[in-house]
Chains A and B, each alone.
Chain A
Amino acid sequence: MTTPDPYSGYPLDPDEGPPTRDLSPPGGGPLVGEPRERKAAPEPRERKAGREPRERKAGRRVADAKAQVRAATVGGPGRRAAAGEFRPRRTAAATVTALLLAAAALVTVVAAVAAMWRGRSHVPPLTWLTPLGRTHWNDPAAITTAAVVCLLGLLLLALALTPGRARVLALASEDQQTVTGITRSGLSRHLASVAARVDGVSRARVRFRGDSVQVNAATPLREVGELPGQVIRAVTARLEELRPLRPMRVRVHVRQREE
């Protein structure tokens, strides 16, 4: 039901990656819906992986490598649906704003009703309004308040109009009706475990910066050698299996350190 994994022929370390799984559904049932348009088998790749390690910082050997993971080719509607599904809903900002708005409106209702009755009975006047009769527009307090209110309004406008940073990264789906994603933190944890399983890597950490993935790996080996290339192959191979809907850059930084 799926096209063969175009990446399976990729040379990886023998102990890289989990044991291969039987990917066919247990029931063997065919999937409804056409399989999505898949990427064609990739052309032989040329990576700037594994540049010569260079000396840095008092004999410490460090080496960097870079690669690009292309975006999965998914049609427009699927991409839009995925983007809409994982866009921040601004729930926190909306909750706080709605609460404050409700509180302010309640105070106003009570004050206005009190003012209505003051006309007939002899309720004392609204004490919190009287200072406003003495404050002038150009008093520092008034100017500060106006500036704060203006900034707050601009902040809310920015929250409303900017798309926001999605915590979930959209991935390609096998099915038109399904939207799939993985949390950024979850993916970075997984990629760190992938990088840490490369022979010679003792520790690895992965961070996201926008659409780029920064892998920082440490090795006890005296010679860094081909390690950046191996790490970047392992990480990009896994990312290309996941087929993110946006292209991603991968950078690897390997640092030699004695344990």
Chain B
Amino acid sequence: MSHRTARVNRAGLAIVGLVLAVAGGLALARGLGMSFLWPPYSPVISEQTAGYAAGHGWFWPAVALAALVVEILALRWLLLQGRTDSLRRLSLEPDSGHGATHLSARAAAGALEDDVRESLHAGRGERAPRGERVRASLSGAPGTPRVALAMVLPDETDPSAARHGAQGAVTRLRQSLELDRLPATIRMHTTRTHP
């Protein structure tokens, strides 16, 4: 769902930006005397505007309602940022006529992490070097999950070998979950481990 977050963020920023730019631009044009319609020397809130607001009973309720709508949209937008969309459990049985099989998503992610660590050390049974971290998480829908794998490697480790090992682990997870599709994102980072 992070793609959706990115789209919503960009759309929201574009709308707010456009409104601010147009409003600011019009006000600037009026203040600098570049607008033909309105004189620059009038007050920002004129007698007419104030009179209109006072004379029409619906004015303030309408403003309140519009601001309330904006408020709700803004809060929803804000809450979208904190959503991680992580899965709690996977459903392994695609056909609901055959009952349901669930697997904890954390367990699957943990198994993937162990497999990746194993393949990083190529089965040599070494202890993980200082600075190495592997973190996996599953997201999406229970029947069509996606996996995100983040690896932090010591800076002297070859990332292309690590990528190969991680790819193998993802493929094995896909096979053991009997999924045709398991989109994966592998993200690598390094830390300095020598003086």
Query: Which positions in A face B, CB cutoff 8 Å?
Result: 2, 17-18, 21-23, 25-27, 29, 31-33, 84-85, 87, 89-91, 93-95, 97-99, 101-102, 105-106, 108-109, 112-113, 115-116, 119, 129, 132-139, 142-143, 145-161, 168, 171, 173-175, 177-183, 185-187, 189-190, 192-193, 197, 238, 241-243
B13 at the interface (CB under 8 A from A): yes
Q: B191–A189 contact, CB under 8 A?
A: yes
Q: Measured between C-beta atoms, what is the minimum distance from B49 to chain A in Å?
A: 9
| A97 contacts B155, C-beta separation under 8 Å | no
Q: Is the CB of A18 within 8 A of B20?
A: no
Does residue B52 face the partner (Cβ distance < 8 Å to A)? Answer: no
Q: Return chain A residues, CB-CB under 8 Å to B16.
A: 97, 101, 153, 156
B54, B67, B183: which has the most chain A beta carbons within 10 Å?
B67
Q: At the interface with chain A, which of B88-96, B99-107, B134-142, B168-176?
A: B168-176
Q: Is the CB of A101 within 8 A of B70?
A: yes
A152 touches B24 (CB 8 A): yes
Which of B6, B168, B174 neighbours the largest number of chain A CB atoms within 10 Å of its CB? B168
Name B's A-contacting residues (CB within 8 A).
2-3, 5-6, 8-14, 16-25, 27-28, 30-33, 38-46, 50, 53-54, 57, 60-61, 63-64, 67-68, 70-71, 74-75, 77-78, 81, 118-119, 122-123, 152-153, 155-161, 163-165, 167-172, 174-175, 181-192, 194
Considering only CB atoms, which chain A residue lies closest to B76 in the complex?
A98
If over half of B's interface residues share one DSSP class (helix, strand or loop), that class is named, otherwise mixed; here it is helix
- Are the CB atoms of A193 and B155 closer together than 8 Å? yes
Set B14, B63, B119, B170: member contacting A26, Cβ < 8 A = B119
Closest to B123 in A: A26
- Contact A183 to B189, CB < 8 A, known contacts A112-B63, A129-B45, A171-B163: yes
Does more than half of chain A's interface fall in helix, strand or loop, or is it mixed?
Answer: helix
- What B residues does A175 contact at CB under 8 A? 167, 170-171, 184
- In Å, the complex CA distance between A224 and B10 comes to 50
Cα distance, A27 to B165, chains bound together (Å): 11
Measured CB to CB, the closest approach of chain A to B72, in angstroms, equals 8
In the bound complex, do residue B45 and residue A132 qualify as a contact, i.e. CB atoms below 8 Å apart? yes
Are A153 and B18 within 8 A (Cβ)? Answer: yes
Contacts A149-B24, A153-B25 aside, 18 further interface pairs with beta carbons under 8 A come to A2-B164, A84-B6, A85-B185, A89-B2, A94-B8, A98-B77, A133-B45, A136-B40, A149-B20, A153-B24, A154-B17, A160-B13, A178-B186, A180-B163, A182-B159, A183-B188, A183-B189, A189-B155
Per the bound structure, the CA–CA distance linking A161 and B25 in Å amounts to 19
CA A105 to CA B72, docked complex, whole Å: 9
B43 touches A132 (CB 8 A): yes
**Do B50 and A133 have beta carbons less than 8 Å apart?**
yes
The answer to whether residues A93 and B9 also contact, given A25-B119, A156-B17, A174-B167 and a CB cut-off of 8 A, is yes
Residues of B within 8 A of A98 (CB): 12, 74-75, 77-78, 81
Q: Which residues of chain B come closer than 8 Å to A155, judged between CB atoms? A: 17
A137 near B30: Cβ-Cβ < 8 Å: yes
Give the nearest-CB partner of A177 in chain B.
Answer: B183
B74, A137: Cβ atoms closer than 8 Å: no
Q: Say yes or no: B71 contacts A106, CB within 8 Å.
A: yes
Taking the closest CB of chain A, its distance from the CB of B70, in whole angstroms, is 4
What's the minimum C-beta distance from B159 to chain A, rounded to whole angstroms?
A: 6
CA–CA, A113 and B63, complex, Å: 9
Contact call A151/B158, Cβ cutoff below 8 A = no
Instruction: List, in ascending order, chain A residues with CB within 8 A of B122's CB.
Output: 21-22, 26
CB of A93 within 8 A of CB of B5, answer: no
**A183-B18 Cα distance, complex, nearest whole Å:** 32
Residue of A17, A178, A182, A193 near B170 (CB, 8 A) is A178
List of A residues within 8 angstroms of B74 by Cβ = 98-99, 101-102, 105
Q: How far is the CB of A148 from chain B (nearest CB, A)?
A: 7
Query: Do the beta carbons of A190 and B9 come within 8 Å of each other?
Result: no
A137, B123: Cβ atoms closer than 8 Å = no
Cβ-closest chain A residue relative to B57: A119
Contacts of B5 in A (CB 8 A): 89, 91
Q: A31: which of B28, B75, B167, B190 is its contact (CB, 8 Å)?
A: B167
